[in-house]
Amino acid sequence: MKTDLSAEYFSRARTVIPGGVNSPVRACKSVGCDPLFVQKASGATVTDVDGNEFIDFVGSWGPMILGHAHPAVVEAVRETALDGTSFGAPTPLEVELAELVCDSVPSLEKVRFVNSGTEATMSAIRLARGFTGRNVVVKFDGCYHGHADSFLVKAGSGVITLGIPGSPGVPEDIVKNTLSIPYNDVDTLEKTLRDDSLDIACVIVEPVAGNMGVIVPEMHFLKTLRELTREMGIILIFDEVITGFRLALGGAQERFGIMPDLTCLGKIIGGGLPVGAYGGRKDIMDTVAPDGPVYQAGTLSGNPLAMAAGLALVKELRKPGFYDALEEKSDFFAAELARIGASANIPTVLNRIGSMMTCFFSEDPVVDFVSAMKADTDRYGRHFRQMLEGGIWLAPSQFEAAFVSAAHDRSQLEKALNMTESSFKKLAD
């Protein structure tokens, strides 16, 4: 594997970009190597600037559920770009995508498009505070909801990958209004939400945690969360930036049959272009400006290129049998990974739901932030490098998800499994 040009680009990048990357995990620090710079991608593969091709299980961190450069998405963007790339005005495309998204996601009555998942979550908690007249946000240890000030308390994703406990620059006056409690812990959840003195406006949760590695919720936990928030007049926000349109057309809420008050979306609904959205109950959404007093705005919100890409992608997802086929493919891959892990002379735990999964190098079940932190990150780093040498592109962090796409074929999955078996044997030596 040649990396001459990647090394050159990384050297240049570090002189003009902090850390040489525009998002911290991409620096690959936790896996003990420098990043590869990607030139292009197609289907289930990415190719770096040195011409090395890899089978991709990152999928741009989730949205490439159809695979890269899907013809319908590319053509939609191309045709739309011919008419202009941004207007700062309403377009028919945003209306059509809003109708399609609301028709697909069970709890959405109205939706507002923004430009990223972070924008969606920060807007949703502002809306919840404005609607309830309360101040406190409850989140869960290890859940990542973007880099807005309110969320960088025991956050997941790059924050834990890089060993950062929080973040300088976040005022204590803001942090004091965020409570972080253990994921999947019903007793702490009930004690916290029933405390009237806490002035809780909302609870925000990844219905399936995907940023401390994949952690599937206990159904009793999610059901209790819904029952308590409804009883206490607290807004329940599902952060479905990863799970939305990934676990089902209607996301985790469809899969589990639990309806939140507000939902945050991103990634997939822009077909890989920058996009986010938040939406939910009509009475709550009607308090957003210009209908109501809760202000949120964005020049590029509803950008026509992102809307066109999202429309093309969601239409593909709505075709009969799409999720059944993806589930069958993911089930085969996960079952074989689990078999390889069980037969290896190293401890592994495979957490999986639908087409997202994480293989933890751990002896114990991984059910929350504390148990996730017991994973052997050094061993994962070795595994990452060995898989990369074998042409398999994994997330450069133990605490992220691997994604199977519709573009992965059986031979690609089998190659990844063979490389995994080989890597595990080397790790056991």
Q: Is 294 helix (H, G, I), strand (E, B) or coil?
A: strand
Characterize 27-49 residue by residue with b for buried, 16 or more Cβ atoms within 10 angstroms of its Cβ, and e for exposed: bbbbbeebbbbbeebebbbbbbb
Distance (Å, rounded) from C-alpha 200 to C-alpha 123? 17
Q: Are 123 and 114 in contact (CB under 8 A)?
A: yes
Q: Is 195 a catalytic residue?
A: no
The pair phi, psi for residue 203, each rounded to 5°, is -120, 130
Q: Which of 29, 139, 154, 267 is catalytic?
A: 267
Distances (CA, A) of 79 to 101, 193, 211, 304: 22, 50, 35, 11
The token duo for 298 is 């964005």
- Residue 139's DSSP bridge partners are 180
Quote the CA–CA distance of 79 and 256 in Å, as a whole number: 37
The CA-atom distances, in angstroms, between 420 and each of 349, 360, 416 are 14, 13, 6
Helix crossing, 92-104 with 304-317: angle to 10°? 30
Place of tokens 């003195």: 197
Strand order in the sheet with 38-42: 38-42, 45-48, 53-56, 392-393
Active site residue 139: no
| Cα gap 315→302, rounded to integer Å | 18
Nearest of 165, 168, 156, 132 to residue 208 by alpha carbon: 156
Among candidate residues 48, 56, 185, 239, the one labeled active-site is: 239
Calculate the CA dihedral of residues 146, 132, 98, 217 and round it to 10 degrees. Answer: 50
Query: Which residue is catalytic, options 9, 144, 278, 323?
Result: 144
DSSP track, 107-150 = T-SEEEEESSHHHHHHHHHHHHHHHH---EEEEETT----SSGG
Q: Residues with catalytic annotation?
A: 144, 239, 267
